[in-house]
Amino acid sequence: MFSWFKYKNYPLFWKEYSKKFKQKQPKSFENTRFVIFDTETTGLDISNDRILSIGAIGIFENVIEVIDNFEIYLKQDQFKAETVEIHGILKEGKLTKMSEAEAMENFIAYIGNAVLVAHHTAFDIEMINAALKRLDLPKLKNKTIDTGILYKKLEGKKDAHFNLDLLSDEFSIPKHDRHTAAGDAFITALLFLKIISKLKKERNLHYSDLFRVSGKEGLM
Amino acid sequence: MINIVIYFMKNTIAERIYDFLKNFPPFDVLEKEQLFKIASNVKVTYVEKDHFVFKQEENPHEHFYVVKDGAIGLYRNMDNEQILVDICDEGDIFGLRPLIQNDLYLMSAKANEESVLYAVSVEILKEIIQTNEKVKKFLIASFSSNIKTPYAKGTNGQIFANIEILQTSNSSFTEIQSAEFSKNPVITLKTATIKEAAQIMSEKRVGSILIVENRNPIGIITDKDLRSKIATGLVSIDENVTAIMSSPVKTFKQKITVAEAQIAMIKNKITHLCITKDGTDKTELIGVLSEHDIVVLHGNNPSLLIKKVYRAKDVNSLKYIRDKTSNLLEGYIEQNIPITFISKIISEINEAITIKAIELSLEEMDKRPPVKFGWLALGSQGRKEQLLMTDQDNALVFEDVPQEKYQSTKQYFLQLSKKVTEKMNVIGFEYCPADMMASNPKWCLSLSEWKNQFDAWIKTPTEDAMMMCTIFFDYDLVFGDKMLVNAMSDSIYESINSFEIFLNFLGRNALRNPPPIGFFRQFLVENDGEHKDQFDIKSRALMPLVDAARLLTLSHSIKDKNNTVSRFKKLIKVEPKNQDLYLSCIDSFNILLQFRTSQGLTNNDSGRYVDLNNLSKSEKLKLKGCFKPIRDVQELLNIRYNLAQMM
C-alpha cells in the first residue's frame, strides 16, 4: 500500500525501466525486440548461489542483431571451485568484472521492455530477481519466453526435459562457446529463430501463443 | 552507450563471427579492426528451406550475405522457370554486386536447405574499400564473373572465367570491360569566366566542362556547381571559372574498367572521372567518363530498349537501338549469363524491332491491308536462336481472296514487304543472299498457295525440298493474324501424316552432316574453300541438333514448338526414356550457341567458322564435350528411321 512511495525512491534507471512498460507494448513478432539471454552462476540454488556472468543478444524483425549484444562478468564473494569447470570463470581472472549493482543497472538499461527469452527461463529470471532483491528492487516486469517450452509445443511433448546440448544437436546448431553466457545466449537465439519458424509453418502461430503456457510448466 | 562499453570489453559472439569470416575472401585480407567492426555489426538470419532471401528484380537490401551454414541457390527466372545459376555454401558471398552498383537483384536467392546467413552492412564495406586495395581488387574481379554458367559443369570450365582465374590475371578483365568514355571532352581555359563556361556547356549540350592548363586538366565544373553556386547567387557569373571549379580532378588511365570507375565514383563521391594520357593530372586530358556514360553502357537494359523501340519514329532510331542491343549481347556473353536467357532477350528486342519496321511500313502504304496477313520469321529467327546480326529470312502469308482480286492483293503485300525488308536492311539485318524474303514473289503467298507449296515439298522430297522444309518449317509469326498461321501448321501435319516416309527423308537430311569428330578424335574441318581447315560450328554442331529436334517434334505432331531447346524439353515429356539424351542435347546446344556467339562477337562475323588454332586446349575439350550428344542423337535417328538403308 506504500508502493507509490517506494516507487519514488527507486534509482533513476529503474524509473526509466518502469516507464517503458507504461507505454503500449508491441503486439507482433516484427515489432518486438526479443532479448535472448543466459546467466552463468556459481550453482543452482537461487538464494545462495550468485550470477557470475550475463550474456544476451537482441532479435528484431527475425534477425539476430550482433550489435545489440550484452556481455558482462560480475565480481562475487561467493565462489565455488567445483562449477569453474562448467563456466570457466575464475575468481580472479583477466576479465573486467563489475559489481552486482552495476551489473543490474547495465542489464536493466539494456533489456528495456524487450521480451526476455532463455532456455529454461525460470531459473535465469529467478537469479536476476534474487539479485534485484538484494538491491531492494522489485522483480523484472518483462514478458518471458522459454525455448524449452516452445520446443515442447512444437513437438507436442509433455514432461521431458530438453537441455540445450540436445536441442543444438537436433537443430544442427554448432555448439561454440557452450557454457559461456554469451555463447549460450547466441545458441539459444538461433534455436529460438528455428523453432519459431517451424511453429509458424506448422500452425497458425499467433504472437500471444508465445506466452501461453500449457499445464504444469507454468513457470511464468 | 552500452554497446560502446561492451565493445571495449568482451564480445564473445562477435569474436566467434570474426573467427568464421576470417577464413573466407575478401574478409581474409581485412585488417583485424576492420573485420572486427564488420563482425560486431553482423545480422544473423535464419532461412528455411525453399524460402527466398531476395527475389530477382527486387531492390537491393542494405546488406549482402555470407552463408554460415546451409546452401543458398541463386536462380534466374526464364520462361516462368527458375534456372539454377549457382549454389553458395559455407563462406560464399552473395547479393553484393547490386548494392555496390545500385542495381536491382539480377537473380533470386533461395535456400536449398535450411541456412544461417550473416548479413553484412554494405556501408561498412564501402568504408573499407577506400582504404584496402586488396578488397577492392577482389570485388572488381568478382563483379565481372559473379554469375557462373550452369553449363560449365562436366568439363573443366576454363572458358568461363571464375573468380580464382581473375584474381591471378586481372588483365583479361581490364580488357573486356574497359569503360567507354567521351573522347572529346568539352574544355575551357582557367582564364574564362563562369558565364563563358556556361555558354559553352549549353551550346554543346553537356553537363560538365573541364578546366585545362597546357592541356592538363586542373578542375571541373558541373551543372550541379552552377545550380548550387551560381543560381543561388553565392558567386557572381562574371567571376573566373576557378572560383567555382572542383579541383584537383580525379584522373585515370584509359584502360579503366567499368567496375573500377564505379568504385572510384563511390569512393570519391564524384560523378566524373578524367582520363589522361598516363593517368595522372600532369598529362594531357583525353576524355571524360561520367556516371551517365556508365549508366548508358550498363543501362542497356532490355526493357528500356524495348520501350525505346515502341517510341521509335523512324528507321534510324531502330538502327541505333539494334546497335545498343549488340552491346547488351556482348555484355551478357562476357558475364556468362545463361544463353537461354540471352536468346530470349535478344529475340524479343529483334521481334519488337521487326514489328516496328512493319508498322512504319504500313503507315507509308496508301491504304490499309486489303485482307488479313501474317509476317513470318524463318530459320534461326523463327526458332529465336539468332543472337548475332545475320541476314534476314522471312515470308508473308495472306488470306485467300477471289481470283479477280489476287493480283492486286499480292502486289499490295509485295510492296509492303519490300518496304519492310529495306528497313530491316538499314537497321542492320542484311538482305538474304538466297532471297528468302517476303519481298520475293515466291515467298509472299496466299494461305492456299502456302498449303500447296508445303504439300509439294513434303510429297516430292528432293534434296532441295528438304532444305526448304528445314527453313520454312521453323517459322514464327512476328506480326499479324494467328489463325492464318495455325491453318498453315495444320496443313503441314496433314500432309506429313498422309505421306509418312517424308520423315525418313527429313531424317536423312538431318544426318547430312557427319558427326563433328573424326576417327582419331580430331575435329572434322573444311577441306577446301575460303574456310579451309576451319571448323564449321553451325553446320557440323548446331544444325545436327536443330534438325534432330525438328524431326522428332514433327514425328510426334507437336505444334507451337519452334525453338530447339523447347522442342527437346517437350520431347523429354513425350519420350521420358530418352530424357538423359535430350537433356544433354539441350546442354550441348546452349554451350555451342554461346560459343558461336562469343566467337562472332570476337571476330565480328557470324561466328560460324572457328579457327581451331585460336582455341585453347580447354575450349577444344569443351567443344568436344558437346559432340557426344550429337553423335548419340544421330544414332537414335539412324535406328528410328532405318536410315542406314536409305543412305
Q: Does the pLDDT at position B165 exceed 50?
A: no
Torsion over CA of A56, A61, A63 and A65, rounded to 10 degrees?
A: -50
8 Å CB contact between B143 and B100: yes
Class of domain B187-297 as given by CATH? alpha beta
Which residues touch B226 (CB under 8 Å, ≥6 apart)?
Answer: B194, B198, B201, B244
Suggest the residue from B4, B10, B19 to mutate for an interface test with chain A (most A CBs closer than 10 A): B10
- Band of the pLDDT at A216, cuts 50, 70, 90? very low
Pick from B12, B40, B42: CB nearest A182: B12
pLDDT attached to residue B101: 65
Compute the average pLDDT of residues A13-17.
92
Please indicate whether, in this complex, the C-beta atoms of B5 and A189 are within 8 angstroms of each other: no
What b/e readout covers A75-104, taking b as 16+ CB neighbours within 10 angstroms?
A: ebeeeeeebeeebebeeeeeeebbebeebb
pLDDT band at B292 (very low <50, low <70, confident <90, very high): low
pLDDT of residue A92: 63
CATH code, A28-212 = 3.30.420.10
HEC string of B603-619? HCCCCCEECHHHCCHHH
**Banded pLDDT at A141 (limits 50, 70, 90):** very high
Burial class (CB in 10 A: 0-12, 13-18, 19+), B432: buried
pLDDT score, position B296: 54
Strands (E), chain A: 34-41, 51-60, 63-74, 97-98, 115-118, 144-146
What are the structural domain ranges in chain B? Answer: 2-124, 187-297, 300-446, 500-647
Residue of B5, B9, B43 with shortest CB distance to A64: B43
Query: Which chain A residue is nearest to residue B12, measuring alpha carbons?
Result: A182
CB A61 within 8 A of CB A94: no
* Subunit contact B16:A194, Cβ cutoff 8 A: no
Please tell me the total number of residues recorded for chain B in this structure. Answer: 647
HSE, side-chain direction, 13 A CA sphere, residue A170: 15
Question: Which region among B47-56, B228-237, B257-266 has the lowest average model confidence (pLDDT)?
Answer: B257-266
Ranges of H-type helices in B473-578: 482-497, 501-510, 537, 543-555, 564-574
What digits encode the pLDDT tens for the residues A71-99?
A: 999 988 766 667 676 666 666 666 778 89
Owner of C-alpha cell 512511495: A5
Residue of A29, A38, A52, A69 to mutate, testing the B interface (most B Cβ within 10 Å of its Cβ): A69
* B161–A contact, CB cutoff 8 A: no
pTM of the predicted model as reported, rounded to 2 decimal places: 0.45
**Residue from B40, B44, B51, B61 to probe the interface with A (highest A Cβ count within 10 Å):** B44
Domain B2-124 has CATH 2.70.70.10: no
Predicted confidence at residue A91, as pLDDT, reads 64
Contact call for B69 and A174, based on CB within 8 A: yes
Cβ within 8 Å, pair A106-B119: no
Can you read off the three cell numbers belonging to residue B400?
485467300
Residue of B nearest to A171 (CA): B114
B30, β-bridge pairs: none
**Contacts with A182 from chain B: Cβ below 8 Å:** 10-13
**pLDDT: which is higher, B113 or B256:** B113
Return d(Cα B23, Cα B20) in angstroms, integer: 6
* Shortest distance, CA A5 to any CA of chain B (angstroms): 30
Cβ atoms of B11 and B38 within 8 Å: the answer is no
Give bridge partners of residue B476 from the DSSP assignment.
B377
Q: Where are the beta strands (DSSP E) in B383-454?
A: 394-398, 444-446
Instruction: Provide the mean pLDDT of chain A.
Output: 84
Residue B275 to residue B256: CA distance in whole angstroms? 9
Q: Do B14 and A69 touch (CB under 8 A)?
A: yes
| Cα R_g (chain A), whole angstroms | 17
**R_g of chain B computed on alpha carbons:** 29
* β-strand partners of B82: B77
What pLDDT shows up at residue B520? 46
The reply to whether residue A190 touches residue B16, judged by beta carbons under 8 angstroms, is no
- Among A16, A67, A175, the strongest candidate for a mutation testing the B interface, having the largest count of B CBs within 10 A, is A67
Quick one: which H or E segment has residue B268? Answer: helix B258-268
Nearest CB among B3, B16, B43 relative to A176 is that of B16
Distance from CA of A1 to the nearest CA of B (A): 35
Q: Please indicate whether, in this complex, the C-beta atoms of A63 and B69 are within 8 angstroms of each other.
A: no
Dihedral angle, C-alpha B360, B366, B368, B371, nearest 10 ° = -110
What is the nearest CA distance from A157 to chain B, expressed in angstroms?
23
Instruction: Measure CA B217 to chain center.
Output: 37
pLDDT band at B496; cut points 50, 70, 90: confident
Say yes or no for a CB contact (<8 Å) between A193 and B48.
no
Q: Do B13 and A174 make contact, defined as CB atoms within 8 angstroms?
A: no
**Chain B nearest CA to A2, separation (Å):** 33
Question: How high is the pLDDT of residue B356?
Answer: 92
Residue A168's nearest CA partner among A148, A144, A154, A182 is: A148
**Nearest residue of B to residue A58, measured between CA atoms:** B43
> Which value does ipTM take for this structure?
0.85
Contact between B43 and A73 using a beta-carbon 8 Å cutoff: no
Q: In chain B, pLDDT over 70 holds for what percent of residues?
A: 81
- Judge whether B43 is closer than 8 Å to chain A, CB to CB: yes
Q: Show residues of chain B in contact with A66, CB under 8 Å.
A: 13-14, 17, 39-44
How close A215 gets to chain B, by Cα (Å)? 30
pLDDT of amino acid A72: 92
**pLDDT tier at B123, thresholds 50, 70, 90:** confident
**Is residue A112 a contact partner of residue A34, using CB atoms and an 8 Å limit?**
no
| Rounded-to-integer distance, Cα B69 and Cα B15, Å | 17
Within 107-126 of B, beta carbons closer than 8 Å to A belong to 114, 116, 119
Other beta carbons within 10 angstroms of residue B602's beta carbon come to 12
**pLDDT value of residue B144:** 41
- The predicted-structure confidence for B435-463, as pLDDT tens digits, reads as follows 899 999 999 999 999 999 999 998 888 88
pLDDT at B99 over 80: no
Does the pLDDT value for residue B405 go beyond 90? yes
Contact between chains at B42 and A68 (C-beta distance less than 8 A) = no
Question: Which of A63, A70, A96 is nearest residue B45 as measured by Cβ atoms?
Answer: A63
Picking from B3, B40, B43 by the largest number of A CB atoms within 10 A of its own CB, the best residue to mutate is: B43
Minimal CA separation from B389 to chain A, in Å: 50
B77 vs A: CB within 8 A: no
Name the CATH superfamily housing domain B300-446.
Beta Polymerase, domain 2 (3.30.460.10)
- Minimal-distance CA residue of chain B relative to A190: B46
Partners of A198 on chain B (C-beta within 8 Å) are: 48
Q: Please identify which residue in the block is written with the cell numbers 537473380.
A: B107
Q: Which of A160-174, B157-171, B404-418, B515-529 has the lowest mean pLDDT?
A: B157-171
Taking any CB pair shorter than 8 Å as contact, residues of chain A touching chain B are: 55, 57, 62-73, 95-96, 106, 109-110, 172, 174, 176-177, 180, 182-183, 185-186, 189-190, 193-194, 197-198, 201
